[in-house]
Amino acid sequence: MRINCMCTANIQPATSQRKLLLSVIREAKGHLDAKELYRRASKRNASISLATVYRNLRFFKEQALIDERHFGHTRSCCYEMKRSEEHYHLVCRDCGHVIEFESPLIHKLVAEIRRKNNFDVTRVELCLEGYCHDCKKEEKPLSKVT
Amino acid sequence: MRINCMCTANIQPATSQRKLLLSVIREAKGHLDAKELYRRASKRNASISLATVYRNLRFFKEQALIDERHFGHTRSCCYEMKRSEEHYHLVCRDCGHVIEFESPLIHKLVAEIRRKNNFDVTRVELCLEGYCHDCKKEEKPLSKVT
DNA sequence: TTTGGAATGCGAATCAATTGCATGTGCACA
DNA sequence: TGTGCACATGCAATTGATTCGCATTCCAAA
């Protein structure tokens, strides 16, 4: 019987690029987009290609190893390792800071939808924009001379 | 005193293109993306340009005349007239049907966030994906021969 | 009616993401 | 411990959505 290391369990074949990409995503902790993942991976393997990054992001998504998200108005998607606990994000319009949160209200909402609309929810895309603790206290000065 | 018609209240200058675009959006009822808006507007004014569509979508957004949304995994945004009642969307992964819904739970959630995270929410991006009433009952046959 | 500033149309540019194709490589089986 | 081959990769070109530059046109205030 063959024992797979956790790290490569679902990646067949486990190419060096895949292992590299996964470890960059894992180490990032935060949320990176494809370009940033490419930049960081390139530092360790200069020849890796952006297409490989995109292809593997799709592959990891299919394997349910990572989650893909849309933050605010940005055009590109962000990625992070899948976690057992569901969580969602607050994005500050000023400093861009991303805060994670969770709330039982979301489960409630999904249950309500299932019941009222007879709709099977498989994915919740939820992102709140606004001003974080630090940015909101600036009382938005009318004209900010830089 | 000049009385502005509702239709052109916030659009200075009220060019023919702007009036056309707004009326197409208003008549669409549903949700259209820039390309579709362009297609429909072109039928009434063949010379309108796609750049004008995008420029005015941005303008209408700034004037808070329309709302911009992201549905599911589609790459482009959808637009609809701003309404007084907040509402959100369910998108069926199968047939693409968009169902609107509202729930007091969302207000609750925003209030909770404000309190717990000291975060001023200015925008809620919420979209649920899944299978609608009609599509979910198909019990997903294992292999569908077309 | 004139006129200045803003809006438009067009095509080119940009940005994110995908694809085609020739080459390279992990790994199942011998 | 090879060896074949399906699949992964790198590269460059492509697509699709959106934006930009610039010359021209048009609105609206005087």
Last residue of a domain, one of A43, A66, A83: A83
Name the nt closest to A76 by C-alpha to C1': C16
Cβ A74 to strand C below 7 Å: no
Residues A14 and A77 in one domain: yes
CATH of residue B99: 3.30.1490.190
Express each pLDDT in A90-103 by its tens digit. Answer: 999 888 889 999 99
Residues A51 and A89 in one domain: no
Tally of domains within chain A: 2
A105 touches chain B (CB under 8 A): yes
Last residue of a domain, one of A66, A83, A100: A83
Q: What does the pLDDT read at residue A138?
A: 66
In angstroms, the CA of B65 and the C1' of D22 are apart by 29
Residues A114 and A71 in one domain: no
Express each pLDDT in A10-68 by its tens digit. Answer: 788 899 999 999 999 999 988 899 999 999 999 999 999 999 999 999 999 999 999 99
> Which protein residues have Cβ within 7 A of any strand D atom?
A 12-13, 15, 17-18, 45, 47-49, 51-52, 55-56, 59, 75; B 12-16, 33-35, 50-51, 54, 58, 75-77
* Domain housing A124: 85-135
Question: What pLDDT band is residue A140 in, cutting at 50, 70 and 90?
Answer: low
Residues B28 and B94 in one domain: no
Q: Which residues contact B136 (CB under 8 A, 6 or more apart)?
A: A118, A119, A120, B130
B101 touches chain A (CB under 8 A): yes
Give how far B129 is from chain A: nearest CA, Å. 5
In angstroms, the CA of B49 and the C1' of D15 are apart by 20
Tens-digit pLDDT profile for chain B (146 aa)?
333 444 556 788 889 999 999 999 999 988 899 999 999 999 999 999 999 999 999 999 999 999 999 988 788 999 999 999 999 999 998 888 899 999 999 999 999 999 999 999 999 999 999 999 999 876 555 443 33
Q: Alpha-carbon distance A59 to A63, whole Å?
A: 6
Q: What does the pLDDT read at residue B134?
A: 92
Q: What does the pLDDT read at residue B138?
A: 66
Strand order in the sheet with A66-70: A32-33, A77-81, A66-70
Q: What does the pLDDT read at residue A95?
A: 87
Residues A20 and A77 in one domain: yes
Question: What pLDDT band is residue A79 in, cutting at 50, 70 and 90?
Answer: very high
